[in-house]
Amino acid sequence: MDKLLISGGRVLNGVVRASGAKNAALPILAATLLTKDLITIKNLPHLHDITTMLELLGSMGCGVVVDEKMGVELNVSTLDNYEAPYELVKTMRASILVLGPLISHFGKAVVSLPGGCAIGSRPVDLHLRGLEAMGATIEVENGNIIASVDGRLQGARIFFDKVTVTGTENLLMAACLAEGRTVLENSAREPEVVDLAECLISMGAIISGHGTDTIIIDGVDRLHGTTYSVMPDRIETGTFLIAGAITGGKVRVIDTDVSSLEAVIAKLEEAGAIITTGDDWIELDMKGERATAVNISTAPYPAFPTDMQAQFMALNSVAKGVGSITENIFENRFMHVNELMRMGAEVEVTGNTAIVRGCESLTGAPVMATDLRASASLVLAALVAQGETKIDRIYHIDRGYECIEEKLGSLGAKISRVLN
């Protein structure tokens, strides 16, 4: 298994480009199942999850042509298989995103039921209940969700008990080809949901209210082809800004989306960073100062994102003072705590709150990545730790960070990949 080797203690300085957003690219790729016309998706990040989604679409019979800049041309007209098998779903939960488009366009779908994962139990009951409200028949057999509908799905009013990002995306996609109007209430307002809606609109869908908690979709008979460019990755952007903050450096992230990072920028400023922004760039300057610990409480957008929680835990570990981190979305998203403690971090967890007492320095150690953002927090901690850190199981980080060692290396980090 590949490992990352990081020698800490270098101040990061420079400019780095944000890649396309994994969490927008995945639903947008699934949305291509809604038309038989040719679709071109641009600014796809070069990530393991994207390859998995392309593999999944390919296994269903879609034509997939990738160009050298990670633009992809998809052709669904050859699709002849409506199944997302366990082998792919177990490596990427977001495979569930093909359920809504498949049943809406083809009237049938078999998708392996995603199990729990390292950050929590993560059920998909709200996806299934919503599709049933639209007239689908759903059965779970041998670990598979078997969905079908006679004729078209029917528009419906659906209230989500809990805000769910991929749940909103699945039903949004399903509603585009349904008969009549669908109203999604208590919908996710995440920028990635908005990006998906914009892509669907460019395919001819009639959608309003995306970016608010009530999305209205008027179903159409067919969608057409489009060329669409995926939004920049706000979580990758935030992670690079913290790489600057944790090392007392100055980092500018370009080709990013400033408006999607308000909650993160506010916390970085509270931590003592000087932030300057332009139309599509954010610069963080610590002026060589150590950060001040901040309190974080995760919640759906526009509040502080759970996907940035672990990275702020790393920052608090070496900050001045004490900060609390409360995780409200996933029940088990503190797997990084024990690994950070192996590097000398002082963290006490009670229920869903971690109290982090900042220390003067961390020390390098062999550590284990447990999930995607947990791995990012270990990379960040390693950048500032004394000595060498070896991070194992970095396939987690390859799910969500494009060329992490090249990008951090270009900012001055001493980081390399050990191939095994």
Ligand X SMILES: CC(=O)N[C@H]1[C@@H](OP(=O)(O)OP(=O)(O)OC[C@H]2O[C@@H](n3ccc(=O)[nH]c3=O)[C@H](O)[C@@H]2O)O[C@H](CO)[C@@H](O)[C@@H]1O
Ligand Y SMILES: C=C(OP(=O)(O)O)C(=O)O
Residue 165 sits in the site that holds ligand X (CB under 6 A): yes
Residues 106-125 that bind ligand X (CB under 6 A): 120, 122-125
Considering the complex, state which of residue 122 and residue 320 has its C-beta at the smaller distance from ligand Y: 122
Cα–Cα dist 46/188, whole Å: 26
Cα–Cα dist 379/340, whole Å: 10
Residue from 39, 94, 246, 318 touching ligand X (CB under 6 A): that is 94
The entry of ligand X, ligand Y, none near residue 127 (CB within 5 to 8 angstroms by kind) is ligand X
Count the site residues for ligand Y by CB under 6 A.
Answer: 7
Residue 272 sits in the site that holds ligand X (CB under 6 A): no
Residue 126 marked as a ligand binder:
yes
Longest Cα–Cα distance in the chain: 64
Residue 82 sits in the site that holds ligand X (CB under 6 A): no
Cα–Cα dist 30/359, whole Å: 45
Taking the complex as a whole, how short is the minimal distance between the CB of residue 350 and ligand X, in angstroms?
19
Indicate the DSSP class of residue 154: B
Residue 124 marked as a ligand binder:
yes
- Among 117, 176, 199, 403, which one carries the catalytic annotation? 117
End-to-end CA distance of the chain: 5
Asked whether 410 and 12 are in contact (CB, 8 A), the reply is no
Taking the complex as a whole, how short is the minimal distance between the CB of residue 94 and ligand Y, in angstroms?
5
Considering the complex, state which of residue 251 and residue 372 has its C-beta at the smaller distance from ligand Y: 372
Cα–Cα dist 348/343, whole Å: 15
Shortest-Cβ-distance residue relative to ligand Y = 307
Alpha helices in 343-403 (DSSP H): 372-384, 395-398
Residue 372 sits in the site that holds ligand Y (CB under 6 A): yes
Taking the complex as a whole, how short is the minimal distance between the CB of residue 97 and ligand X, in angstroms?
7
Considering the complex, state which of residue 105 and residue 373 has its C-beta at the smaller distance from ligand Y: 373
Residue 164 sits in the site that holds ligand X (CB under 6 A): yes
Residue 373 sits in the site that holds ligand Y (CB under 6 A): yes
Q: Which residue has the tokens 């502080």?
A: 304
The entry of ligand Y, ligand X, none near residue 8 (CB within 5 to 8 angstroms by kind) is none
Task: Please confirm, yes or no, whether 117 is among the known catalytic residues.
Answer: yes
Residue 33 sits in the site that holds ligand X (CB under 6 A): no
Asked whether 329 and 306 are in contact (CB, 8 A), the reply is yes
- Please give the angle made by the CA atoms of 80, 86 and 90, to the nearest 5 degrees: 130
Residue 45 marked as a ligand binder:
no
Cα–Cα dist 274/332, whole Å: 33
Residues 302-331 that bind ligand X (CB under 6 A): 306-307, 329-330
Partners of 218 in beta bridges: 181, 206
Taking the complex as a whole, how short is the minimal distance between the CB of residue 391 and ligand X, in angstroms?
20
Taking the complex as a whole, how short is the minimal distance between the CB of residue 282 and ligand Y, in angstroms?
20
Q: CB pairs under 8 A, 24+ apart, for 61-70?
A: 62/32, 62/33, 69/42, 70/20, 70/42, 70/43, 70/44, 70/45, 70/46
Residue from 94, 175, 178, 391 touching ligand Y (CB under 6 A): that is 94
Cα–Cα dist 145/148, whole Å: 10
| Burial track 15-24 (b if 16+ CB lie within 10 A, e otherwise) | ebbbbbbbbb
Partners of 38 in beta bridges: 75
Cα–Cα dist 140/142, whole Å: 7
Asked whether 200 and 31 are in contact (CB, 8 A), the reply is yes
Residue 185 sits in the site that holds ligand X (CB under 6 A): no
Residue 23 sits in the site that holds ligand Y (CB under 6 A): yes
Residue 242 marked as a ligand binder:
no
- Residues at the binding site are 22-23, 93, 122-126, 307, 329
Binding-site ranges for ligand Y (CB under 6 A): 23, 93-94, 307, 372-373, 400
- Give the interface with ligand X as residue ranges (CB under 6 A): 23, 26, 94, 120, 122-127, 162, 164-167, 192, 306-307, 329-330
- Catalytic residues, by residue number, are 117
Annotated binding residues for phosphoenolpyruvate? 22-23
Would you list which residues are annotated within the binding site for UDP-N-acetyl-alpha-D-glucosamine?
93, 122-126, 307, 329
